Structure 1
Amino acid sequence: MSPLTTLSAEQPSCQVEYDAHNQWLRATWRGFINPQHALQSIVSSLGVLSNPVVTLFLNDNSQVLNPWFDSLTWLRYAWDSTHTTPPACVAHVMQPGGDANVSDLDTNWTRNSGTELQLFESVEEAEDWLRGCHSGCDC
């Protein structure tokens, strides 16, 4: 994995891509993400999200600069917008210092849809867990 790039607040982005090697979808959030940018990211990612059923999802907030940003809310709206089945396993990498706000995460949609959600402090831990989902975890 390449080292994290230092980004300024002027460079917000959300890159959504399918990782064919690992067979999961990955959203990587960078910079200062405001609600308007998150909504624009949903619209620009609908094509990727509505492709074949995705059973594993890596949601990486490790490069978010906001004091707090809940991209799980973005995921809920994204899957609702595509009318596709939510992934069986979601690995959510918290933004640095975000662990103090775990109770603020919007996790109702994962429970209601039968999605297994795990929170991680590092991308590597999240990737390891998702690889375990391929090997038959309860996801």
Structure 2
Amino acid sequence: MRRDFQNSFGKTFLVTEFDKRNNWIYNDWQGLLSLDGVIHGSIGVLEILQHTQCPYILNDNRGVLGSWKQANEWIEAQWMPQALAAGLRYHAHIVAPGVFGQASAEDLHLRVGNSFQMRLFEDIEEAQAWLRHMQEPTA
């Protein structure tokens, strides 16, 4: 299951898919993200989460430019409760390069609190390793 999202200029800003082999939902965010884009894309992620009931998300922001902090209030109030109800438990987030993307991720991390386990990473291999570890029976 895969979905691609384009902005009003026809440029893809999100590819989200259920990675059956790794048992996680992989989100590849790209470019400058508007509030509407983050909401639209996040609803698509939520639909995949609801369909698969997969408790693991790998959110890749390495291609994101600038801040998306303006969406965090909506994510906290609207998306998180629905994601939790659909089974989300572990969220590995690879931060965007640059101070604005990192600040956006840190703000979201604070908002998540103890709702589910969220870890911030700069390296995709470390994020993947953490998710794999969380899937182990003893984790």
**Structure 1 residue runs of 4 or more that deviate by more than 6 Å after TM superposition:** none
Q: 1:19 to 1:72 in 2, by over 3 A?
A: farther
State the TM-score, normalizing by the size of structure 2.
Answer: 0.72
Pairs aligned (count):
127
Preserved contact between residue 26 and residue 58 of structure 1 (Cα < 8 Å): yes
The alpha-carbon deviation at position 118 of structure 1 amounts to 0.9
1:34 aligned onto 2:73 = no
Question: Which residue pairs with 2:109 in the alignment?
Answer: 107
Q: CA RMSD in A?
A: 2.9
TM-score normalized by structure 1? 0.72
Query: Hey, what does 2:68 align to over in structure 1?
Result: 69
Corresponding residue number in structure 2 for 1:23: 23
1:126 is matched with: 127
* Matches for 1:50-89 after TM superposition, within 5 Å: 50-66=50-66, 68-70=67-69, 73=72, 76=76, 77-81=78-82, 84-89=85-90
Q: Greater share of strand residues, 1 or 2?
A: 2
1:56 Cα deviation (Å)? Answer: 1.1
The structure with the greater share of residues assigned to helix is 2
Of all paired residues, the percent bearing the same amino acid is 24
CA displacement at 1:122 relative to structure 2: 1.6
User: Unpaired segments of 5 or more residues in structure 2?
Assistant: 1-8
Unaligned runs of 5+ in 1: 1-9
